[in-house]
Amino acid sequence: MTDPIQLWYWPTPNGWKVSIALEEMGLPYEVKAVNIGTGEQFTPEFQAISPNGRMPAIVDPDGPDGRPLSIFESGAILQYLGNKSGQFYPTDIRARAEVDQWLFWQVGGLGPMAGQTHHFRQYAPAIIKDQRQIAYGVRRYTDETHRLYGVMDRRLADRDYLAGDYSIADMAAWPWILPEHQGQNIDEFPNLKAWLARVGARPAVVKGRAVGDALRSNLAASGKAAEAARKVLFGQRGR
């Protein structure tokens, strides 16, 4: 029996992408928790797998040549898992190009912009005493996230999923639609709202999204533990 894929993981949108994909594809996996609030992403063991010191990452003990293969970056992981399983990542060149466009759009646009929105709206107020210093960041990234929600809403006006059939592109984007944390009114985006519910109702998405829920901590909260975690995440000079 093949050993399970190791999923180096913490319950965040980027982590959920991969846990959802593994559940959707029915690939056996085991979670290796990487507590990003205590700095486990900076350990030599993890950085041997993920040189950028970011999770998620995977180690597949049954790589394409029968030897273990490690992969970091969530988009690359999704492509690899789609190829490995033969699911949710079409082999037809035109269809694959559609998926790749929306996958790259998420990893290069939606994720970074929504992540900055979340940072300035949720975490920065607990770090910076003078709230005027964060006002521009809040406005800039909230507005850009609003624009990106609009891009998805228009795309979904005449289709159920981003790239035709349900695919790794949807798995990548879905965890990043967090209107309550990103200052958005989802009712302004009816097609996106319907897609959010449609994807979120899939049993594998429900299961993948729940992976590691008990591990998660609230970095926007007050208290010494939350403050220490924020220093690890947002004060990483010299590492």
pLDDT at 118: 86
- pLDDT tens digits, one per residue of 228-238: 554 555 565 43
Q: What is the pLDDT of residues 79-114, one digit of tens each?
A: 999 999 999 999 999 999 999 999 999 999 999 999
Query: CB–CB of 106/169 below 8 Å?
Result: yes
Residue 230: the pLDDT is: 47
- Report residue 155's pLDDT band, with 50, 70 and 90 as the boundaries: very high
Q: Tell me the mean pLDDT in the region 27-40.
A: 93
At 122, the pLDDT band (50, 70, 90 cuts) reads confident
pLDDT band at 226 (very low <50, low <70, confident <90, very high): low
pLDDT at 134 (0 to 100): 86
Is residue 184 scored above 70 in pLDDT? yes
Where residue 38 falls among pLDDT bands split at 50, 70, 90? confident
Residue 114 pLDDT: 95
| Res 220 pLDDT > 90 | no
pLDDT of residue 151: 98
Q: In the prediction, which pLDDT does 214 show?
A: 84
Please tell me the predicted confidence (pLDDT) of residue 238: 39
Q: Is the pLDDT of residue 68 over 90?
A: yes
How much is the average pLDDT of 185-206?
98
Report pLDDT for 106. Answer: 98
Domains and CATH numbers, the chain: 5-87+208-234 (3.40.30.10), 93-201 (1.20.1050.10)
pLDDT at 228: 54
pLDDT beyond 60 at 62: yes
pLDDT band at 223 (very low <50, low <70, confident <90, very high): low
